[in-house]
Structure formats: C-alpha cells, structure tokens
Structure 1
Amino acid sequence: MPMQLTILKIGGNVLDQPAALHDALDYFAALPGAAVLVHGGGKKASQVLRELGHEPVMIDGRRITDAATLEIVTMVYAGLLNKDLVAQLQRRGCNAIGLSGADGNSVLATKRPVKTIDYGFAGDVQAVNAVLLAGLLDLGLRPVLCPITHDQRGQLLNTNADTIAKATATALATHGYQVSLRYCFELPGVLRDLHDPASVIPELNPSLYADALADGSIGGGMIPKLDNAFAAVAAGVSEVIIGDLAAHRAGRGTRCRADG
C-alpha cells in the first residue's frame, strides 16, 4: 500500500504574519505520516533589498531577479527564512531539515528564457531529486524546501515556490507515495465570486476547470495555481487542496482531482 505523504506550500500571506505562521507550523508539525514543507519568500526579501539600497522590481507579481537581487534573495530565502522555519519546527518536536535546490541536488532548474519579459535569474524547474527526499523521509526527517534552485553549472536561480511544490509532489508520487498537495494561502478556496468568501468551489476536475475558464468564473492569479494543481493531478498526485489554514484544518477548501 502506498505511503501517505502531505506536501504543504505556504506563501507570503502566511510568512508575513507571525500569528498565521505560528498556526501553520503547528498544523504542519501535527500532520500524520510523512510531510514536506515548501515556502515562498514573503515580504522579507523586498525589505532587505530596500535596506541595502535596491528597489524591488515586480511584474505581474513575479520578481525580476538581477544579479544583486539574486544574492539578497538567496541570503533571505535559503538562509534567514528557511533556517528560522526549521528552528521553529524543531521547537515543536518536528525534526525538520532545510534545503535549497542545490543541497543534495534536490531541485534542478534552468534559467527562464527571455520572451516578452526578462525575469533575470529566474528558474524553471526541470527535476526534483525524489531519491534524496524519500531517503530523508525514511529517516523520519521533514524536508523544508526554499525557492532557490540551481542549474548544475554553479548558477543559483530564484524559482516559483508553487511550481516547486507541484514538481516535488509529482516526483514523489512516482516514487511510491500517495501524495496530498496542499496550497495554503489567504482565501478559503477557489471562489466563484472574489467578493464572496462563501462562494468556495468545493471540488474541481479538469473538465470543470476548463468550463470555469471558458465562462470567466475563474481568472487572474488563481490560474497559475490551478494550472500547477492540475499538472500535478495529471502526473499522479492523489489530490490538490487549495485554501486557507482554517479550510485545511477543517478538511474543506477546493479539492482538485482527476476526471472521473
């Protein structure tokens, strides 16, 4: 029988609020079975950039990562944030181990090609080292992955954490795990009406998602997250759940599953 594995992704809305982060780490530490935490960067990198005389540049919510920005986000994401999360989990009796993509060759990426926008040293995930992560899980450790990857040629890259979570889920799903991927963000789930938090869509499959895209009931920033969700489901992940922490605790949110 496949081993149960939960992958929890937390973003800036959690990282930037001490109370929300406290609750999310309590939730992660109490998860049964094996678990992996994937985190984004939050506002801390932008704060440190400004303190060091660099103005952050964002386009459509994505950071433009020039050489100076890459140095700073690596220090913040792979250093300060990642190690603080590990320390806070150890405090909760959760034996965590923090990793960047370069550690143990855990997440390999390539520099995003320039199309209409040059994102600089942004990375697109190519592979996740499932053997390494499974070995750590077998030792009773809980990996904590930050959004810094590498290209195997010595270049670090700033990479979208949602995509890292999806790629980690799909890699481990093909390595004998029954994977539940959980995106924890600020809304109770995917909403039919952004102004009505009670309008959560409880379940989506690829057909329903396609219909919702066609009629415009889902759009904007939810599309990249749902694209990742359904790519994971198509690659063998058992389920993807999107919602805030309260929804995850209550077994609610939006469940993304395969057709049928």
Structure 2
Amino acid sequence: MLFVIKVGGNVIDNPALLQSFLEDFAAIKGPKILIHGGGKIATRIGDQLGIESNYVNGRRITDAATIDVVTMVYGGLVNKQLVAKLQAVGCNAIGMTGADANVIPAVKRPVKEIDYGFVGDINTANLNVGPLKAMLDAGLTPVFAPLTHDTHGQMLNTNADTIASSLAIALSAHYEVRLIYCFEKKGVLRDAQDDNAVINLINRSIYAELLEQKVLTDGILPKLENAFSAIESGVKEVLIGHAADVRSNTTGTVAGTLIC
C-alpha cells in the first residue's frame, strides 16, 4: 500500500499539532508521499512584503508578484522546514515541487470569467512518476509543495488537494493507493459548528443529497471533488480526517470520512 497524504489547513500553522503529525507520519511503514499547503504563511509573508492577497471563490489570484511569494514560501520556507523536521524524526524526506524531475508539468489556467494568473491546471496523464518510483524504491519520502511548472520556465501555483489527487491517480497504476486528506477537523461534518458531526461514509448519491441540503462548507467541496475524481480513476480509497488520526488511518482503523 502506498499512502499519499496531504496536510494543510491550520495544521501547518500550529507548531505542536504539526510536530505530532510529522512524528506520526514518519512512523508510517512502507512507501509514502506528503503534499503540503501553506496559504496562511504565504499571506503573512506577502503582507510583510506589501503584496496583498486576493481571492475569488476561495482561490488565490496569482499575479506576477504573488507567484514569486508563493514559490519562495511554499517551495522554500515551508517545504524545507517540513523536510528538516521529518529528518529529525527519522524520515528520510526529499523536498519537491512539480518542476523537480518534471514530475508534474501543468498548463497555465486559461482566462475565462476570471483571470487566476499564474495558476496551474494538471492533466494527470502527463505526470512523470518514474522518478517518484525510483525515490520510493530507494527509501526516500517525497514532500511536495503546491507548485507545478509549465515546461517553459514558469512556475505555477497549484491547489495542494489537486496535486495529491493527481499523484494518487497516476501512481495507482503501480501501487495500491490510499489517499488521505489531513486537516484540523475530524472529517466531513454534517454541521460545521459541531466537530463531532462526522459523516463516516460518502458515496456519490449521499454527496448529491448533502449538496442539495447545503450542509457542506465551501472549503470541503474541492476535497470531495478531488476525492471522487481519484476513486473514479483507480485510487482504492480516499479518507478525509483529522491530522491526529493519520496513524490509525494508515494501520487499518478508519477515523474520519471514507469516500467510496
């Protein structure tokens, strides 16, 4: 089993929670890949540099100044701090972006109603997973920042949930894959105000009912869309749950929301 694990939300910003998560992640047996976010840190650094963050429908508008900031913060500051912390707990991690080894080529999102700027869209069929397999076979753990490239020298800001889903799909041709989205909630919640209102199982029909009832928050919708995309493209299992449950979610016991 290959575990493709995305961590984000407030976990990255909480030193104690992050340290606990990284210790649990390091303890996972067998091959694993980590994908991380870091949007709040990028916003904070951007503010310090006088570069304002702009969002539309929860998505960051990435102009020329912003792509420089997110490349520095995601690919540098956050990525290398995570790699260093993993090395400290015995996990031989290697920091990556989609440009490294040309693993995730992407295309700049076409301008339609909204110009998202330097944002990358991924075609999963174009991923180059050979280098990842070689790293995993060598006992290395790739740690991906949410950045891709256009193969013409331009870095692109790309949603970390999407990168996780795309990697899981591409690698499912070679491994049995469990994709896990870790954040600060216990799973997909029926009531956003009740942390214990976890929906343990979601399939397409249940998802349609939840959308009709309008009980899901905007932040969880991209995770669910990516989850269903992964399941329908060969990934065996997708879990959405709390970062503190990552160890149980890699040893057989399911805590959180299972997508099937």
The answer, yes or no, to whether TM exceeds 0.5 is yes
Tell me the equivalent position of 1:182.
180
Shift of 1:219: 4.7
Deviation digits for residues 109-148 of structure 1, max 9, x if unmatched?
1111112211110111123221111111011000001011
Shift of 1:52: 1.4
Tell me the equivalent position of 1:30.
27
Structure 1's unaligned 5+ residue stretches are none
Shift of 1:60: 2.5
Tell me the equivalent position of 1:254.
257
Tell me the equivalent position of 2:233.
235
Tell me the equivalent position of 2:218.
220
Tell me the equivalent position of 2:190.
192
- Mapping for residues 1-260 of structure 1, pairs under 5 Å: 4-126=1-123, 127-174=126-173, 176-250=174-248, 251-257=254-260
Amino acid at match of 2:199: I
TM-score, with length taken from structure 1: 0.93
Runs (4+) of structure 1 moved beyond 6 Å? none
Q: Distance in 2 between matches of 1:43 and 1:215?
A: 30
Q: Distance in 1 between matches of 2:142 and 2:155?
A: 19
Q: Distance in 2 between matches of 1:178 and 1:41?
A: 28
Q: Distance in 2 between matches of 1:116 and 1:79?
A: 32
- Does the 8 Å CA contact 1:15/1:42 hold for their aligned counterparts? no
Q: Compared with structure 1, are the counterparts of its residues 219 and 79 closer, same or farther at alpha carbon in structure 2 (3 Å cutoff)?
A: closer
More strand by share: 1
Amino acid at match of 1:99: M
Deviation digits for residues 53-109 of structure 1, max 9, x if unmatched?
211112222111111111111011111111111111111111111111111001111
Q: Compared with structure 1, are the counterparts of its residues 93 and 246 closer, same or farther at alpha carbon in structure 2 (3 Å cutoff)?
A: closer
Aligned length: 253
Structure 2's unaligned 5+ residue stretches are 249-253
Shift of 1:224: 1.3
Identity over aligned pairs, percent: 53
Amino acid at match of 1:240: V
TM-score, with length taken from structure 2: 0.93
- Does the 8 Å CA contact 2:11/2:243 hold for their aligned counterparts? no
Q: Distance in 1 between matches of 2:189 and 2:198?
A: 4
Kindly report the root-mean-square deviation, in angstroms, between the aligned alpha carbons of the 2 structures. 1.3
Q: Distance in 1 between matches of 2:49 and 2:212?
A: 45
SS of residue in 2 equivalent to 1:132: helix
- Does the 8 Å CA contact 2:24/2:246 hold for their aligned counterparts? no
- Does the 8 Å CA contact 1:29/1:93 hold for their aligned counterparts? yes
Q: Distance in 1 between matches of 2:157 and 2:80?
A: 17
Shift of 1:23: 1.1
